[in-house]
Amino acid sequence: MATYSRLPGSVALITLQNPPVNALSAAVRQGIVDTVQRALKDPKVTSVVICGQNGKFCGGADIREFAGPMLGPPLVPMIHAIEAVDKPVAAAIEGVALGGGLELALGCHYRIAHSKALLGLPEVTLGLLPGAGGSQRLPRLIGLTAALDLITTGRQHDSSFFSSLHLLCVCSQSISSVCVSGQSLDSRRLSTLPCPCPPDVDSLLDKTMVKVRQRSRGALAPVACVQALMAAASLPYTQGMEKERDLLTTLFNSGQARALQYAFFSQRVVGKWSLPSGASWDNSAARTISKAAVIGLGTMGRGIVVALALTGISVVAVETQEKQLAEASQVVPAMLQREAGRRSLATPPGVISFSSNLQDVCEVELVIEAVFEDMSLKLQVFRHLTSVCRPGTLLCSNTSGLDIDRLAAVTQSPGLVVGMHFFAPAHVMKLLEVVYGPRSSPEAVATAMQLGKRMGKVSVAVGNCPGFVGNRMLKPYLEQANFLLEEGATPQQVDEVLEEFGFPMGVFRMSDLSGLDVGWRIRKEAGLTGPGVESTRTRQGRRYSPLPDQVCEAGRLGQKTGRGWYQYDGPGGRVARSDHWVNIFLEAYRAEHGLVARSIAPEEILERCLYALINEGFNILQDAMAAGPEDIDAIYVFGYGWPRHHGGPMFHAGQVGLGRILERLQHHHHNHPDVPHLKPSTLLRRLVAVGSPPVQKWREFINKERVHSQL
Ligand X SMILES: NC(=O)C1=CN([C@@H]2O[C@H](COP(=O)(O)OP(=O)(O)OC[C@H]3O[C@@H](n4cnc5c(N)ncnc54)[C@H](O)[C@@H]3O)[C@@H](O)[C@H]2O)C=CC1
Ligand Y SMILES: CCCCCCCCCCCCCC(=O)CC(=O)SCCNC(=O)CCNC(=O)[C@H](O)C(C)(C)COP(=O)(O)OP(=O)(O)OC[C@H]1O[C@@H](n2cnc3c(N)ncnc32)[C@H](O)[C@@H]1OP(=O)(O)O
Binding site for ligand X (CB under 6 A): 295-301, 318-321, 324, 370-373, 377, 381, 398-400, 422-424, 514, 518
Q: How far is CA 624 from CA 434, 471, 617, 658, 706, in A?
A: 15, 16, 11, 20, 10
The single residue among 83, 94, 123, 549 that binds ligand Y, judged by CB under 6 A, is 123
Q: Are 597 and 590 in contact (CB under 8 A)?
A: yes
Distance CA 125, CA 251 (A): 12
Amino acid letter, residue 38: R
Closest CB 245 distance from ligand Y, rounded Å: 7
The interface region with ligand Y, picked from 129-137, 347-355, 512-520, 526-534 by CB under 6 A, is 129-137
Residue 252 binding ligand Y, by CB under 6 A: yes
Instruction: Please report, in angstroms and rounded to a whole number, the separation of the first and last CA atoms in the chain.
Output: 45
The site partner of 147 among ligand X, ligand Y, none (C-beta below 5 to 8 Å per kind) is: none
Q: Report residue 163 CA to chain centroid gap.
A: 30
Q: Where are the alpha helices (DSSP H) in 154-219?
A: 159-164, 201-216
The single residue among 31, 52, 88, 99 that binds ligand Y, judged by CB under 6 A, is 99
Of the pair 265, 372, the CB lying nearest ligand X is at 372
Q: Report residue 609 CA to chain centroid gap.
A: 21
Which residue is at the shortest CB distance from ligand Y?
Answer: 99
The interface region with ligand Y, picked from 29-37, 63-71, 368-376, 533-541 by CB under 6 A, is 63-71
Residue 262, classified by CB atoms within 10 Å of its CB into exposed (0-12), middle (13-18) or buried (19+), is buried
- Please identify which of the residues 83, 94, 103, 630 carries the catalytic annotation: 103
Using alpha carbons only, give the angle 33, 39, 40 rounded to the nearest 5 degrees.
90
**DSSP symbols for 65-81:** GGGS---SS-HHHHHHH
Q: Is 319 left (phi over 0), alpha (psi -120 to 50) or beta?
A: beta
> 3-class SS at 90?
strand
The site partner of 298 among ligand X, ligand Y, none (C-beta below 5 to 8 Å per kind) is: ligand X
The site partner of 319 among ligand X, ligand Y, none (C-beta below 5 to 8 Å per kind) is: ligand X
Closest CB 112 distance from ligand Y, rounded Å: 20
Residue 100 binding ligand Y, by CB under 6 A: yes
Residue 240 binding ligand Y, by CB under 6 A: no
Closest CB 359 distance from ligand X, rounded Å: 12
Of the pair 122, 649, the CB lying nearest ligand Y is at 122
103 is known as an active-site residue = yes
Q: What is residue 192's DSSP assignment?
A: G
The single residue among 13, 39, 75, 416 that binds ligand Y, judged by CB under 6 A, is 75
Closest CB 267 distance from ligand Y, rounded Å: 8
Q: Which helix (H) or strand (E) holds 491?
A: helix 491-501
Closest CA to 272 of 256, 257, 284: 284
Q: Which phi and psi (to 5°) does residue 263 adopt?
A: -65, -35
Which residues 6+ apart lie within 8 Å of 552 measured at CB?
Answer: 516, 517, 520
x/- contact string, 1-20, with ligand Y (CB under 6 A)? -------------------x
Amino acid letter, residue 189: R
Contacting ligand Y within 462-481 (CB under 6 A): none
Residue 701 binding ligand Y, by CB under 6 A: no
Distance CA 219, CA 216 (A): 5
The site partner of 233 among ligand X, ligand Y, none (C-beta below 5 to 8 Å per kind) is: none
- Please identify which of the residues 83, 94, 123, 244 carries the catalytic annotation: 123
Closest CB 307 distance from ligand X, rounded Å: 13
616 is known as an active-site residue = no
The interface region with ligand Y, picked from 93-101, 366-374, 517-525, 589-597 by CB under 6 A, is 93-101
Which residue is at the shortest CB distance from ligand X?
Answer: 298
The site partner of 583 among ligand X, ligand Y, none (C-beta below 5 to 8 Å per kind) is: none
Residue 547 binding ligand Y, by CB under 6 A: no
The site partner of 398 among ligand Y, ligand X, none (C-beta below 5 to 8 Å per kind) is: ligand X
The site partner of 372 among ligand Y, ligand X, none (C-beta below 5 to 8 Å per kind) is: ligand X
The site partner of 381 among ligand Y, ligand X, none (C-beta below 5 to 8 Å per kind) is: ligand X
Closest CB 681 distance from ligand Y, rounded Å: 29
Q: How far is CA 591 from CA 488, 490, 538, 587, 636, in A?
A: 11, 15, 17, 6, 36
Distance CA 251, CA 128 (A): 6
The site partner of 60 among ligand Y, ligand X, none (C-beta below 5 to 8 Å per kind) is: ligand Y
Closest CB 617 distance from ligand X, rounded Å: 20
Contacting ligand Y within 265-304 (CB under 6 A): 265, 268
The interface region with ligand Y, picked from 28-36, 130-138, 340-348, 435-443 by CB under 6 A, is 130-138
Taking residue 314's Cβ as centre, other Cβ atoms within 10 Å add up to: 18
The single residue among 2, 36, 97, 128 that binds ligand Y, judged by CB under 6 A, is 128
Taking residue 353's Cβ as centre, other Cβ atoms within 10 Å add up to: 12
Contacting ligand Y within 15-44 (CB under 6 A): 20-21, 23
Residue 132 binding ligand Y, by CB under 6 A: yes
Using alpha carbons only, give the angle 182, 185, 186 rounded to the nearest 5 degrees.
150
Q: How far is CA 605 from CA 20, 273, 651, in A?
A: 45, 35, 20
Q: Are 292 and 364 in contact (CB under 8 A)?
A: yes
Which residues 6+ apart lie within 8 Å of 50 measured at CB?
Answer: 14, 16, 32, 89, 90, 91, 92, 104, 105, 108
The site partner of 332 among ligand X, ligand Y, none (C-beta below 5 to 8 Å per kind) is: none
The single residue among 98, 212, 358, 653 that binds ligand Y, judged by CB under 6 A, is 98
Question: Which positions are catalytic?
Answer: 103, 123
Site of interaction with ligand Y (CB under 6 A): 20-21, 23, 59-64, 70, 75, 96, 98-100, 103, 122-123, 126, 128, 130-132, 248-249, 252, 265, 268
